[in-house]
Amino acid sequence: MNGTAMVGTERAGARLETDRRRLPPEERQQQIVDTAVRFFAEVGLDGKTRELAKRLGVTQSLIFKYFETKQDLIEAVYARVYLERISPDWPALIGDRSRPIGERMSIFYRDYGSRIFDHDWMRIFMFSGLAGAELNKRYLNHLSKTLLEPILEEVRMAAPNTAEPTLEDLWSLHGGIVYLGIRQHIYQMPVPGDPQHEIDRAIARFLRSFDIEGP
C-alpha cells in the first residue's frame, strides 16, 4: 500500500470511529446489548469483552463506559433475552375464567413458544445453566411465581375434587414444551412442522390426566 492510500485508509478509519463515538448514548447502549446477546449466544457467558469490543468495532473501554462490569452487561442481556419477552398480558389471559383452561393454556404456550423458540434464547439459557450462573435460577423462579403457579391454580379450579395436580406436574409439561426449542436450536434435530399441534396434544394429555377437557 502506498503512502497516499495508507493516509486515506487512516482518515476513513478515523471518520468511522468519530461517527461511532457520535451515536446517542441510548442508541450506543442498545447496540452493545444487541451485539452482546448474539456474542454470548455464540461463545457462552465466559466470552471476553475485548472480543465483543472487536465485533462492535469499538474499544473495550467504551463498553465499560456504559456497563461498569461484565456482570452489569450480562444483567442487561438477561433483561433483554428473558424479562423483555414476558408479556404483561399473560396474567390476565391465565386468569380469564370466561374461557376453558385448555384454551387459555393453548394460547399462552403458543405465544410463549413464539418468543423462546429462538436461537439466542435457547443457547444463552443452556450456556448459563452449564456455567452455573444465577440467570436461569432467577428466570425460572420468576416464571414459576408469575405464570406457572397461577396456571396451576386455574387447573386446580377446573379439576374435580379428587384430582391433585401439583407444580411438579406442570413443570413436567412446561419442560417438554421447551424441549422442542432445545431440539431445534441446541441439538439441530428435526422438529414438528407445526409445533403448536404438538403443544396442544401435550396440554390435552396433561389436562386429561386430571379429568379436564383439553384444547
Chain segment 165-178, per-residue pLDDT in tens? 999 999 999 999 99
Q: Report residue 210 as a C-alpha cell.
A: 386430571
Report how many domains make up the chain.
2
Domain-ending residue, one of 60, 81, 102 = 81
For residues 45 and 57, state if they share a domain: yes
Residue 213 is assigned to a structural domain of this protein = no
* Mean pLDDT, residues 128-150 taken together: 87
Helix, strand, coil share of the chain (percent; to 5): 75, 0, 25
| 162 CB-near residues (< 8 Å, 6+ apart) | 211
Shared domain check, 147 and 47 = no
Confidence of residue 105 (pLDDT cuts 50, 70, 90): very high
- Do 90 and 111 meet the contact criterion of CB atoms below 8 Å apart? yes
Q: Which residue type does 8 have? A: G
Domain residues for the domain of 195 are 85-208
* pLDDT tens digits, 12-39: 444 445 445 577 889 999 999 999 999 9
Q: What are 102's three cell numbers?
A: 385448555
Does 2 map to a domain? Answer: no
pTM: 0.82
Cell of 22: 457520535
Whether 183 and 99 map to the same domain: the answer is yes
pLDDT of residue 12: 40
Q: Do 193 and 97 belong to one domain?
A: yes
CA distance 56 to 35: 7
CB atoms within 10 A of CB 124: 27
Same domain membership, residue 197 and residue 123: yes
Same domain as 195, residue 133: yes
Among 1-10, 74-83, 92-101, 113-122, the range with the most confident prediction by mean pLDDT is 92-101
- 192 CB-near residues (< 8 Å, 6+ apart): 180, 198
Q: Are residues 93 and 69 in the same domain?
A: no
pLDDT at 21: 58
Mean pLDDT in the chain? Answer: 88
Among 81, 101, 128, the domain-final residue is 81
Q: Give 97's pLDDT tier (boundaries 50, 70, 90).
A: very high
Q: Amino acid letter at 12?
A: A
Residues 95 and 195 in one domain: yes
d(CA 154, CA 171): 15
Side-chain-side CA neighbours of 185 within 13 Å: the count stands at: 20
Q: Which residues contact 159 (CB under 8 A, 6 or more apart)?
A: 165, 210, 211, 212
Q: What is the pLDDT of residues 158-168, one digit of tens each?
A: 998 878 899 99
Looking at residue 132, its pLDDT comes to 64
Residue 11 lies inside a defined structural domain of this protein: no
What's residue 73's pLDDT?
95
